[in-house]
Amino acid sequence: MKLSLHFFCVYFQQNFVRDAMDFSLSEEQVAVRDAAREFTQTQLLPGVIERDTHARFPTEEVKKMGELGFMGMMVSPSYGGGGMDTVSYVLAMEEISKMDASSSVIMSVNNSLVCWGLERYGNDAQKRKYLEKLASGEVLGAFCLSEPEAGSDATSQKTTAVDKGGFFLVNGTKNWITNGGSAEVYLVMAQTDPKLGHKGISAFIVEKGWEGFKIGKKEDKLGIRASDTHSLMFTDVKVPKENMIGNPGFGFKFAMETLNGGRIGIAAQALGIASGAFELSLAYSRERKTFGKPICEHQAIQFKLAEMATQIDAARLMVMKAAYLKDQEKDYADASARAKLYASEIAMKVTVEAVQVHGGYGYVKEYHVERLMRDAKITQIYEGTSEIQKIVISRGLIR
């Protein structure tokens, strides 16, 4: 696919070097963004408050997202995906997150953690068996790294996978797994050689329903309440040898590489939450009157809107830069950590301000901004907390 969103491209023309920045989107990218916007308004908005209130998984909505091609956007068409670039993916993520961050995290995990990891590092048989169904949205995937005692400290994996000849015997517990109950395909990190530390961790594909694989309790969450987050228990689960991704000991690297891209998706989600809250605040401030004029004519509100818009603009540039670098196959680990760190921090700030702009109305469900504020918080936590992003960024600086 042709990419026209060039942030830092250099043109060599007529014996001189000219730096050019082209912020325009291709027709295809605009079409993707508009389709996601339309889908959000017509399909996600109507039930979003009810799904949040009752923590009800958006089964029908996710099915439609699959039909529209949002569940495997970057996967090659030869494996049933959309063959799109990361820029298109973040545009869709932003639009969907403006109103429904629960649906967007379901989408993000399936696209960037499960499909991307499988396409990049799985073998052809694994892709034929699993990726095609995942990319078309026929089934959902989950990414299982976190454990009760291994969240930020992800190298401390306690789940084990013991080589028994034709299969591995997997034992352990995973925590806070997005799509935990709704997925059919699980990418599971487990220790195959504990004495090697993180170099002894391997990655496996596990199917729902295998003997000994139990889905634990669903978490009752502050935000993204319509997505399902579960603990998972593995007791002597037999995983066939052919379901190992890559070589033994590749699992931690697999997880880290996959998360580098995943963080772009979550940064786009945070950006969407912030821009959704901003758009609602701007519209409300034009309508709501106090002291004889719309509140957008009061400087107190104008300053808030100006700050929100500026922060969102900066976050969008960082998210797009990370997506662009990934599309160019350049190193994007640092850019994705920075984008996630900044976008999630401003998502929190912007949504708190959005509630303030709405006053009492902002505190009730009908106006959406209280939900966006609750949803924003998780973007500072999952796929690496803000503190972990700072570790990634500072290690890059020192190196």
Choices 5-13, 128-136, 150-158, 356-364; region in contact with ligand CAA by CB under 6 A: 150-158
Is 256 an interacting residue with respect to ligand CAA (CB under 6 A)?
A: yes
The Cα 167–Cα 238 span in angstroms is 6
- Cβ(64)–Cβ(39) below 8 Å: yes
Which residue stretch of 93-101, 149-157, 200-208, 284-292 sits at the interface with ligand CAA (rule: CB under 6 A)? 149-157
Beta bridge partners of 290: 293
**155 counts as binding ligand CAA under rule CB under 6 A:** yes
Task: Determine the residue type at 205.
Answer: I
Strand pairing of 141-144 and 160-163?
unpaired
- Contact between 238 and ligand CAA (CB under 6 A)? no
Does 388 bind ligand CAA (CB under 6 A)? Our answer is yes
52 binds ligand CAA (CB under 6 A): no
Tell me: does residue 9 bind ligand CAA (CB under 6 A): no
Binding-site member from 62, 65, 145, 185 for ligand CAA (CB under 6 A): 145
Distance CA 135, CA 209 (A): 21
- Considering only 32, 93, 118, 154, the residue that binds ligand CAA (CB under 6 A) is 154
Q: Does 259 bind ligand CAA (CB under 6 A)?
A: yes
Of 265 and 362, CB closest to ligand CAA: 265
Considering the rule CB under 6 A, would residue 143 count as an interface residue with ligand CAA?
yes
Stretch binding ligand CAA (CB under 6 A), from 44-52, 118-126, 314-322, 380-388? 380-388
d(CA 198, CA 180): 24
Residue 282 C-beta: closest distance to ligand CAA, Å = 30
Is there a contact between 101 and 272 (Cβ–Cβ < 8 Å)? yes
Residue 12 DSSP class: E
DSSP string, 37-103: HHHIIIIIGGGHHHHHHTT---HHHHHHHHHTT-SSTTS-GGGTS----HHHHHHHHHHHHTT-HHH
Tell me the site size for ligand CAA, rule CB under 6 A: 23
Nearer to ligand CAA, 364 or 391 (CB): 391
Part of the chain binding ligand CAA (CB under 6 A), chosen from 18-26, 208-216, 253-261, 298-306 = 253-261
Q: How far is the CB of 297 from ligand CAA (least distance, A)?
A: 41
Query: Is there a catalytic annotation at residue 383?
Result: yes
90 touches ligand CAA by CB under 6 A: no
Question: How many angstroms separate the CA atoms of 62 and 60, rounded?
Answer: 6
User: How far is it, in rounded angstroms, from Cα 285 to Cα 353?
Assistant: 12
Contact pick of 260, 344, 379, 380 for ligand CAA (by CB under 6 A): 260
Residue 123 DSSP class: -
Please state, in angstroms and rounded to a whole number, the distance separating the CA atoms of residues 350 and 333.
25
The reply on whether position 4 binds ligand CAA by CB under 6 A is no
Nearer Cβ to ligand CAA, position 283 or 391? 391
Rank residues 253 and 288 by Cβ distance to ligand CAA and give the closer one: 253
Q: Which string of b and e fits 169-194 if b means at least 16 CB within 10 Å?
A: bbbbbbbbbbbbbbbbbbbbbbbbbe
Q: Are 267 and 343 in contact (CB under 8 A)?
A: yes
Binding of residue 192 to ligand CAA (CB under 6 A): no
Which residue among 61, 94, 345, 383 is the active-site one? 383
d(CA 97, CA 107): 10
Binding site for ligand CAA (CB under 6 A): 109, 143, 145-146, 152, 154-155, 177-178, 198, 252-253, 256-257, 259-260, 333, 382-384, 388, 391-392
As annotated, the active-site residues are: 383
